[in-house]
Structure 1
Amino acid sequence: MAVDGEAVRLGAEQERTDEPGWEVDPDDDWALAVVATVGRQLRLRREAAGMRAADFATAVGYGEDLVYKIEGGRRIPRPEYLDTADGVLGAGGLVAAVKEDVKKVRYPKKVRDLAQLEARAAEIGVYECSSIAGLLQTPAYARALFEVRQPPYPAEEVDRLVAARMARLSVFDRSPAPSLSFVLEEATLRRKVGDTMVRKQQFERLLEAGRLNSVTLQVMPMDSVAHPGMSGRIELLKFEDGTAVGRSDGAFNGRPASDLRQLRVLELRYGTIRAQALPPGETLAFIEQLLGET
């Protein structure tokens, strides 16, 4: 029994020593600067405490290689790593305090940029043809999508991407709430993403969001005629100062558009899609039917 207990303990330790931080995007200058500064502070505090990297690694319960990567600015430390390091170094909360800085760069730059736009938008309109819109996804549904990517993401990158997507949902908590409209294809709702429980929870999430006063949710039925969204996703964000930005997979090479003429094209396409989709009331009834069939 002692041998078995030791094996369990060593297995748990190995799992923890292999626990990574997040990779730093080499093209993300701000993230590189923040992580380099945090890493340098950790190294200076460790050296001031008279601890070798190997001893510090043992004390915090992580691998020595990870310690070097974090101190060298090559990994974004997880919050629990910083909490543990603060206690080991007797920093009195000064190390743990940098969690707020690290939190701002833990997600990929393109996700941060999108989240910042969504946080300012007074109106957000999204047509999604390949999956349920990210702002409407549950964590389990998002994870199921990321896990089927080829070539596959490493497990820690899946965790990071799911967390980044869920962080964007803070847009629903804003006051006053922005006006949100979504059009989803019926085929994406019927696609078996994840197991039965994942799909049930996702349908429940759609119903919850669709009943909010600030949200208009519509489904494009599979028996509808051809429409302007068949060339890809469309997203429109409008701001209080009258400016706007849009993007479509099927227009302007998929690049963000803020030119008035380009925006009018996207608005025309999105408006046509909404006109052809099921009204919100029929949409909610349809999703309730799918939930009952799942």
Structure 2
Amino acid sequence: MAGPKDLDPSSSPRALLGAELRHAREKAGLSQEELGQRLFVSGSFIGQLEAGTRRMQVEYARMLDEVLGTEDFFQRNCAAVAKSKYPEHFAEAAEAEAVTTAIRQYAPLLIPGLLQTSAYARAVCRAYQPTAPEEDIDKLVTARIERARILDNPTEPLLWAVIDEAALRRVTGGPKVMAEALRHIADLSRRGRAIVQVLPFGAGAHAAMQGAIKLMDFEDAPPLVYFEGVGTGRLEDDPAITRHQRFTYELLTACALSPQNSLVLIETMAQDYAHEDHA
């Protein structure tokens, strides 16, 4: 297991909590594996808490205070880490995404969040919550677009997306919105900020017909896979599960169009949507 990362405690409440956890664990003379055993979790899970790639939940904070003799430190400070601008089922995944070195994602039904435009995101959020006040939708859209700022970095993270043709053919927000959305994907691809492959209808049956895949790698923590459903989501770090999902993703890339051919298709579809909007 990789050694713990030197964190900047001033960077975020979660970074502070991770740094304090590492300090308390080492002071108690416990390895990550040994502490994990006492909490009935894996040593890699403890490492993820220390590295800031996993959020500390209240039940674990309570157990850590008991095992490490830290009175109620972790319980008291857990509340600050729990605050999030993202929906509860996605908050932990979004926070992990912000510190990842690589994201590999298969999107079967919609354009991945990191590749969405504001207009596309608004159409998606409104479809999810048709009766929500406009200010609530504004907050969701803002949070989604802010997530994409990780792509402002010229080198990291690597974003490799396989997008099902169905996601590109579903007219979300109208032809004008779709034209803009596809041009945005093409621009990110041409600038080298995303590797994008389209899985065409012609590929037929494939290895991920049961749903989406999102794999995240980190510099000094084990990889995670995120599973998402309607209003639900969970992170998994089990090595067998992450290996299987990575193999599934590799099968998808083999079935998908090449990045260059995908770019041609995306730009052609963007032109078609633009013409449709002006028809």
Please, what TM-score do these two structures have when normalized by structure 1?
A: 0.60
The one of 156, 163, 167 equivalent to 1:188 is 167
- Per the alignment, in what secondary structure is the counterpart of residue 240 of structure 1? coil
User: C-alpha displacement at 1:221, in angstroms?
Assistant: 0.4
Q: Find the counterpart in structure 2 of residue 133 from structure 1.
A: 112
Contact 1:146/1:153 (<8 A) preserved: no
Higher relative contact order at CA 8 Å, sep ≥6: structure 1 or structure 2? Answer: 2
CA separation in 1, counterparts of 2:185 and 2:99?
23
Pick from 188, 203, 219 the counterpart of residue 224 of structure 1.
203
Between stretches 143-152 and 260-269, larger displacement belongs to 143-152
Instruction: Give the Å deviation of 1:176.
Output: 3.8
Asked if 1:235 corresponds to 2:228, the answer is no
| Structure 2, gaps ≥5 residues long | 1-12, 14-79, 274-279
Match of 1:245 in 2: 224
* Aligned pairs (5 A) from 1:170-209: 170-174=149-153, 176-209=155-188
Is structure 2 residue 145 aligned with structure 1 residue 163? no
1:118 aligns with 2:90: no
Deviations 1:139-196 (A, max 9, x none): 0001111112355323222111111101101110235421110011111111111122
Identity of aligned residues (%): 35
- How many aligned positions are there? 191
Aligned to 1:6: none
Contact 2:86–2:94, Cα closer than 8 Å, also in 1: no
| Aligned mates of 2:214, 2:167 — CA distance in 1 | 17
CA distance in structure 1 between the partners assigned to 2:126 and 2:253 by the alignment: 31
In our comparison, the structure showing a higher alpha carbon Rg is 1
Distance in structure 2 (CA, Å) of the matches to 1:176 and 1:230: 31
Relative to 1, partners in 2 of residues 1:292 and 1:175: Cα closer, same or farther, differing over 3 Å? Answer: closer
| CA deviation after TM superposition for structure 1 residue 247, in Å | 2.1
TM-score by length of 2: 0.63
In structure 2, the partner of 1:290 is: 269
Change in CA separation of 1:254 and 1:117 when aligned onto 2, cut-off 3 Å: closer
Q: Aligned ranges for residues 1-294 of structure 1 at < 5 Å?
A: 105-149=84-128, 152-174=131-153, 176-249=155-228, 255-294=234-273
Indicate how the Cα distance of structure 1 residues 213 and 175 shifts in structure 2: closer, same or farther if over 3 A, else same: closer
- The whole-number CA distance in structure 2 between the counterparts of 1:128 and 1:203 is 14
Instruction: Tell me which amino acid in the other structure corresponds to 2:157.
Output: P
Assess if the C-alpha contact under 8 Å between 1:228 and 1:269 holds in 2: yes
**1:238–1:244 CA contact under 8 A, matched in 2:** yes
Q: Is the 8 A contact 2:85 2:91 kept in 1?
A: no
SS in 2 for 1:273: helix
Q: CA RMSD in A?
A: 2.3
For 2:118, the aligned partner's letter is P
